[in-house]
Amino acid sequence: MVIQYKCPDCGADLFYDAETQKMKCGSCGYTNDITATNDKNGRIDPAALNDNVHEINGDFEDFQEQSTFTTFNSNDAVHYVCRNCGAELITSPEVTATTCSYCDAPMVLGDRLSGCMAPALVVPFTISKQQADEAFTKWRKRGKVTPTEFQQASRVKSLTGMYVPFWLYDANGRGEGHFHATKKRSYRSGDYRITETKHYDVYRKVSINYDKIPVDASKKMPDAMMDNLEPFDYKDLHNFAPAYLSGYISEKYDFTDTELFPRLQQRTNRYTQNFLMSTIKGYSSVTATGTHYETRKRNSYYTLMPVWMFAYQYKGKEYMYVMNGQTGVVVGKPPISVPKVLLRFSVFTIICFLILYIITYFGGTIS
Amino acid sequence: MKKYLLSFLVLITLLICPSLVVSANVTTKDRLNDDAKLFSWGESSDIKDKLKELSELYDADIIVATTKDPALPEVDLEDLELGEINLEQASLKETATEEPDIDEPVVEERKPQFSKSKRVMDYAALFTKEEFKDIAKQVNALSKQYKLDIVVITTNDILGDGSYADFDASLERFHDENGYDRDSVFLGINMDPDNREVIVQAYGKSQKYIPDEVAYNITESMVSDLKAQKYAKATNTFIKRANNRLSILLEPFERKLPKIEKGDYLIDDAHILTNEQKQIYLNKLFKKNENHDIDLYVITLDEFDSYSSLSGYVDTLADENGLNDNVGILAILLGDAHREVVMAGYGEKNTRSYLTDARCQNITDSLTDDLAAAKYTDALDTYLSQAGMYVTMKELPVPLSVILTELFISAMLGVIYVCILIYNASAHSKATRHTYQEPGSAQVLARIDNYTHTTVTKTKIESSSSSGSRSHSSHGRSRVGGGGHSHGGSRHSSGRSRF
């Protein structure tokens, strides 16, 4: 099933406009709110969203592992026909939204977004293609150690707006640890410096709830890059509607929430440890003697996040950059210019040296 | 004419030093003995009346004698020098009750009331006539030369009725009460059988030149002679050494060092070099000094009582000779008691950039080993190469090691800076725990802080010392041997030895 939105006035294709956050007609300028075009395809269990259970005082085990939708991968249908031109669309199985390769009309593959495959939430694009291009150019120029050529020449091979599948987890983190801590006091007595060290056995057990930690579920997007796109602003987190995808490319998740849970755990355990350590205060030294952290999932939401993808050609190599389609943060390793690095290093070193030298020159000799 | 001259002379003699006036046969009733027949009868009775009046007034016999013996006036004139200053005080204080011999010192057992005019008082009768005369002559000559009093006192008890705590204090009081010069130098020899001691005291500005340890050294050098009862020899040692010290004060260059002309780069008063060596090093110094603005000098000394003021001595020397700009002086003192080496630089530019305090100290430090081992030529070679290098090479305002350290630190900072730049070239996640933490959900379920035990460590604190520096002249000083130091605060310096 292909969903294509048509302008009620002129019949042209409607697509999602990032700037106005409305459906817009490219021909006559007609706009329409998303809610109006929402075909209620993306349903969400309101109870799951309003899960305000404060179970932080010991009934952790009672948490029910619950995904908003159970997930499976059974859709092998790859045969779609463009309603505009009748051309046959050949897509890879994970694509859920694309444009017709012949007439460029936005196509949303509705059957891949329904049932268990329906995303629960979406953060729509707020940065348009033009804005993304400008921001990327700006970012390239801001680089302090990137080659001048990279900064100046615009060699963007392709710029694609894509909704990347994420799992947003609600989770509870628990942590406990035994520590050996010391308090040091030093004072002078006659010709001696006396250091008094008090030793303590410290134990902490903490609980902390996390809200919608994103973990990308796309095989093709590098995890590190996706992590670095964070944070997304959840004030724009909407219930999913296929209309948001009109005009963009979208894919369905490659990993289920259960498969991605270990990646979540890495993060939450780190966060929990961070919190646990922050509760140990007033000591001169703290050494862990035994710690244990664990994370339980409370809920997970299949969510689409907006990402601008740049393919940039520089010196025969293709660099890939991604931009957070909501906040404009650019992620990706730019080429590094060795002469620029050396110049920066030299200038900085000379300035530091001059400052130090002036200090010692006027401040008398050090040695 | 001749007659009147002579009478005038005798009258002066009478007035100035009545107790020393000599007659062959004089009685208290007949105070004028005119053997030379100089006065007429009328004059004679007139003089007699006046003498009687004066004698009664001062409760002392005042006697006038004339003689044809040719030896007498010479003696008179010699001793007259003893007191040519305060006539009134002298005449008032004199209490001679018996006829003194012109050559003999005044010997008194009473509580002393001395005349300022006297600089040698041998109450313990340690000197023979000739010795006394010789000592008095030397002391007077030196006192005149240095415009201060050098006083020698010997005694059998501690000068008086025992109301003084010690000999030192009694001498000090004696100095105060008898109007001696503010800058006097005193030698006291106490022959009290219970407490034989010798003291050297220096007052006023003499203190600077005869500080405590020098005074002590002088007394020490006298002890052996005093034990052997060679009192005059011991006293001569005192006079010689006091003279050595004071000569620095007034005429430093007449005694030890001739006027230094440009080109006198090597002055070897300690005779550490053969003539041949001397010529070689003089040539080397010439060559060195030709090539740069700063002139290097070498001065060796053997007689110098105070190591503590060797640098001051060098300062004076440089100053007096106008060697106060672009000059470096190495002074090597090779005395019996003190051996010391001082390197001094003069001239503002010089001491700031070339012969700085630190460099001068480096020079003396590197010379001490060779000097202590008497390898003088080695030491001079070292001096020539080291000082020669210093005078051609400006000292960096900041030491090289510090500059290198600073460069290293800067480079490290530079590396850190560049690393940060490269890291920041691509964005990194700004998400933290707080980004996703559900507000109010972070809770501590259990909290235990158990105190177990205390450990205590003790470390000794090393104290650090600081040093000052001078402007316009730089010094390095190393002691080759011997030691001691002068202390301030006392109004005189003194050294004392028992024998």
For residue B403, the chain A residues in CB contact (below 8 A) are 357
Name the percent of chain B lying above pLDDT 70: 70
- Average pLDDT along chain B: 72
Flag if A356 and B422 touch (Cβ within 8 Å).
no
User: What is the per-residue pLDDT for B78?
Assistant: 42
Smallest Cβ–Cβ distance between B445 and the set A207, A270, A356 belongs to A207
| For residue A231, pLDDT beyond 50 | yes
Average pLDDT over residues B118-138: 84
Cβ contact, residue pair A348, B414, below 8 Å: yes
Stronger pLDDT, B475 or B73, i.e. the higher one? B475
CB contact under 8 A, A341 and B421: yes
Mean pLDDT of B396-408: 82
Going by pLDDT thresholds of 50, 70 and 90, the confidence category of residue A274 is: very high
Best interface-test mutation with B: which of A63, A206, A235 has the largest number of B CBs within 10 A?
A: A206
| Spacing of C-alpha A245 from chain mean position | 18
Judged by CB atoms closer than 8 Å, whether chains meet at A200 and B449 is answered as yes
Condensed to tens digits (0 to 9), the pLDDT of residues A130-169 reads 999 999 988 888 888 888 888 887 778 888 899 999 999 9
Residues of A in contact with B407 (CB under 8 A): 349, 353
B266 vs A366 pLDDT, higher one: B266
Using CA atoms, how far apart are residues A298 and B383, in angstroms rounded to an integer? 85
Contact assignment for A227 to B409 by CB distance below 8 Å: no
The closest CB to that of A352, out of B413, B450, B460, belongs to B413
B218 Cβ contact partners less than 8 Å away, ≥ 6 residues apart: B200, B210, B237, B238, B241, B242, B305, B495
pLDDT class of B136 with cuts at 50, 70, 90: confident
Is residue A73 over pLDDT 80? no
Q: Is A79 helix (H, G, I), strand (E, B) or coil?
A: strand
- Taking an 8 Å cut-off on Cβ atoms, the answer to whether B459 and A195 are in contact is yes
Q: Determine the pLDDT at residue B12.
A: 53
pLDDT at A65: 40
Cα of A194 to nearest chain B Cα, Å: 5
- Assess whether pLDDT exceeds 50 at residue A296: yes
Taking contacts as CB-CB distances below 8 angstroms, the residues of chain A near B450 are: 200-202
Residue A289 or B430, more confident: A289
Which segments of B61-211 does DSSP mark as H helices, in order? Answer: 71-80, 87-93, 129-146, 167-177, 206-209
A193 closest CB neighbour out of B399, B410, B461: B461
* Cβ neighbours of B454 in A, within 8 Å: 196-199
pLDDT value, residue B473: 52
Torsion of CA A8, A10, A16, A20, to 10 degrees: -90
Among A196, A205, A361, the residue with its CB nearest the CB of B397 is A361
User: What is the average per-residue pLDDT within A258-269?
Assistant: 91
- A–B CB contacts, 8 A cutoff, strictly below: 183
Using the beta-carbon criterion (under 8 Å), do B457 and A54 form an inter-chain contact?
Answer: no
What was the pLDDT predicted at A84?
Answer: 75
Chain center to CA of B363: 26
- Cβ atoms within 10 A of the Cβ of B486, count? 17
Q: What's the pLDDT at A156?
A: 82
Average pLDDT over residues B3-23: 50
> Taking 90 as the threshold, does the pLDDT of residue A17 lie above it?
no
pLDDT at B92: 41
- Token reading at B90: 């002298």
pLDDT score of B331 more than 60 = yes
Size of chain B in residues: 499
Partners of B435 on chain A (C-beta within 8 Å) are 230-231
The predicted model scores a pTM of: 0.52
Nearest to B406 among A194, A331, A360 (CB): A360
Answer yes or no: is pLDDT of A97 > 60.
yes
Contact across the interface for A332 and B426, Cβ inside 8 Å: yes
> Residue A237: CB partners within 8 Å, gap ≥ 6?
A121, A122, A123, A212, A303
Mean pLDDT of A216-231: 88
Q: Is the pLDDT score of B9 beyond 60?
A: no
Task: Please give the Cα distance from B312 to B384 (Å, whole number).
Answer: 23
The angle at the Cα of B425, spanning B424 to B430, to the nearest 5 degrees, equals 45
Measured between alpha carbons, how far is A177 from A225 in angstroms, rounded to an integer?
32
Mutation target among B362, B438, B447 for the A interface, most CBs of A within 10 A: B438
Question: pLDDT: is A215 or A54 the higher one?
Answer: A215
Residue B86 tokens read as: 């305060």
Residues in Cβ contact with B468 at an 8 Å cutoff, skipping those fewer than 6 apart? none
- Asked if residue B437 lies in contact with residue A208, where contact means CB atoms within 8 angstroms, the answer is yes
Mean pLDDT along residues B185-198: 82
Question: Measured between CB atoms, which of A192, A211, A356 is closest to B410?
Answer: A356
Residues A182-219: pLDDT tens digits? 999 988 888 888 999 999 999 999 999 999 999 999 88
Residue pLDDT, tens place only, B81-124 = 443 433 344 444 444 434 444 444 444 444 444 444 578 888 88
Sequence-separated (6 or more) residues with CB below 8 Å from residue B105: B120, B121, B122, B125, B127, B132
Closest residue by Cα to residue B318 from B371, B279, B244, B267 = B267
